[in-house]
C-alpha cells in the first residue's frame, strides 16, 4: 500500500503539485496564515460554529422532546468527529501511505514534524464529520460547516502535508460516520438530554429560560411565530 504515493505521473500527484505550488508564489505572511488556519484555525471555527448553533437552538420555544432531539444532534457532531478519527487509526496502519514530501521532491512544506502516515487526513475527517453532523441538526449552519471543511481540505494540500486523495478519503470517512451512526446516537442521547432538561441546575443546556417561557406563553413549534423567533435569536 505504501506504493500508492510513489508514482509522480498520476492526477493525484499532479494536483498536489498544482495546489502546493501556490505556496511557493505566495507572500510569506500568507503561507504563515494558511499554516495556522489549516492546522488549528478551521477546527476552532467549526467548534465555535457548533456552539453558536447550540446557543440559538436552545432558545427556540418548544417542547422537551423537540429541544432534546435538536441538542442531541448538535452534541453528536463533535462526538462523530472523535469516532471517525478512531476509525481512521486502523485505516492508516493498513494503508501505510507516507507523507507526500517523503516521496516527492520540490514541495513547499509549511508544517514540519509530520512523521505519521498520510491516508486519510485527520483534519479533513474531523471537520467534515462535524460539518455533516451539524447539517443533520441545522441545514443553514451545516452548509457553512461544509464550506469550512472544504477549505480545510484545500489547506492541507496547500501546506504540502497531504495528497488530494487523503483529503477526499477523510471527507468520505467523516461523512459516513456522521450519517450512519446518527440514528443510534440520537436514540442514546435524546433520553439523556430529556433528563437534563428536567433538571433545575443544568436544564439550560437544553432549553433557555426564554424558551420555556415562550412555551408557556403559547408558542407552537413550527408556527410562523416560532420560526420568526428562531430567526431573531440566530441573528442576535
Query: 173 near 125, Cβ under 8 Å?
Result: yes
pLDDT, the chain, mean = 85
Q: What pLDDT score does 234 carry?
A: 53
pLDDT > 90 in the chain, percent: 59
**How far apart (Å, rounded) are the C-alpha atoms in residues 142 and 21?**
31
In this structure, the number of other CB atoms found within 10 A of the CB of residue 147 comes to: 11
Q: Which grid cell sits at 134? A: 451539524
Cell 471517525 -> residue: 84
Q: Which tops the pLDDT comparison, 166 or 102?
A: 166
Which pLDDT tens digit goes with each residue over 99-130? 998 888 888 889 887 888 999 999 999 999 99
pLDDT at 16 over 70: yes
Least confident of 23-27, 179-183, 185-189, 220-224: 220-224
**Quick one: average pLDDT of 39-61?**
91
CA 103 → CA 12, 98, 106, 138, 232, distances in Å? 13, 7, 10, 42, 53
**How far apart (Å, rounded) are the C-alpha atoms in residues 69 and 130?**
17
**Quick one: average pLDDT of 73-97?**
94
| Contact residues for 109 (Cβ-Cβ < 8 A; gap 6+) | 101, 159, 160, 161
State the angle between helix axes of 42-57 and 139-158 in degrees (0 to 180), rounded to the nearest 10. Answer: 170
Of 135, 144, 140, which Cα lies nearest the Cα of 175?
135
**CA angle (135 as vertex; 161, 209 as ends), nearest 5:** 120
Write down all domains in the chain, each with its CATH number in brackets: 19-230 (1.20.144)
Which pLDDT tens digit goes with each residue over 182-213? 999 999 999 998 888 888 888 888 887 776 66
Q: What pLDDT score does 235 carry?
A: 54
In this structure, the number of other CB atoms found within 10 A of the CB of residue 190 comes to: 18
**Would the CA dihedral through 159, 164, 170, 176 be positive or negative?**
positive
**Quick one: average pLDDT of 139-162?**
95
Q: What pLDDT score does 182 carry?
A: 94
Pinpoint the alpha helices (H) of 96-208: 100-103, 122-137, 139-158, 164-180, 182-197
| pTM as predicted | 0.83
Q: What pLDDT score does 149 carry?
A: 97
Amino acid at each position: 500500500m505504501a506504493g500508492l504515493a510513489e508514482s509522480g505521473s498520476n492526477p493525484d500527484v499532479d494536483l498536489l503539485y498544482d495546489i502546493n505550488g501556490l505556496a511557493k508564489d505566495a507572500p510569506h505572511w500568507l503561507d504563515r496564515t494558511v499554516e495556522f488556519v489549516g492546522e488549528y484555525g478551521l477546527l476552532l471555527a467549526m467548534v465555535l460554529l457548533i456552539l453558536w448553533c447550540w446557543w440559538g437552538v436552545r432558545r427556540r420555544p418548544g417542547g422537551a422532546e423537540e429541544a432534546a432531539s435538536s441538542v442531541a444532534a448538535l452534541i453528536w457532531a463533535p462526538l462523530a468527529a472523535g469516532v471517525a478519527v478512531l476509525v481512521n487509526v486502523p485505516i492508516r496502519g493498513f494503508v501505510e501511505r507516507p507523507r507526500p514530501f517523503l516521496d516527492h521532491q520540490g514541495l513547499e512544506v509549511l508544517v514540519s514534524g509530520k512523521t505519521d502516515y498520510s491516508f486519510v487526513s485527520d483534519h479533513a475527517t474531523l471537520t467534515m464529520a462535524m460539518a455533516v453532523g451539524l447539517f443533520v441538526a441545522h441545514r443553514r449552519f451545516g452548509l457553512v460547516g461544509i464550506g469550512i471543511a472544504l477549505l480545510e481540505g484545500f489547506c492541507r494540500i496547500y501546506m504540502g502535508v497531504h495528497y488530494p486523495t487523503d483529503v477526499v478519503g477523510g471527507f468520505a470517512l467523516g461523512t459516513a460516520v456522521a450519517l450512519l451512526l446518527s440514528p443510534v446516537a440520537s436514540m442514546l442521547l435524546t433520553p439523556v438530554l430529556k433528563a437534563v432538561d428536567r433538571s433545575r441546575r443544568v436544564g439550560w443546556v437544553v432549553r433557555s429560560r426564554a424558551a420555556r417561557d415562550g412555551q408557556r406563553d403559547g408558542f407552537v413549534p413550527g408556527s410562523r411565530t416560532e420560526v420568526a423567533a428562531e430567526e431573531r435569536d440566530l441573528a442576535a
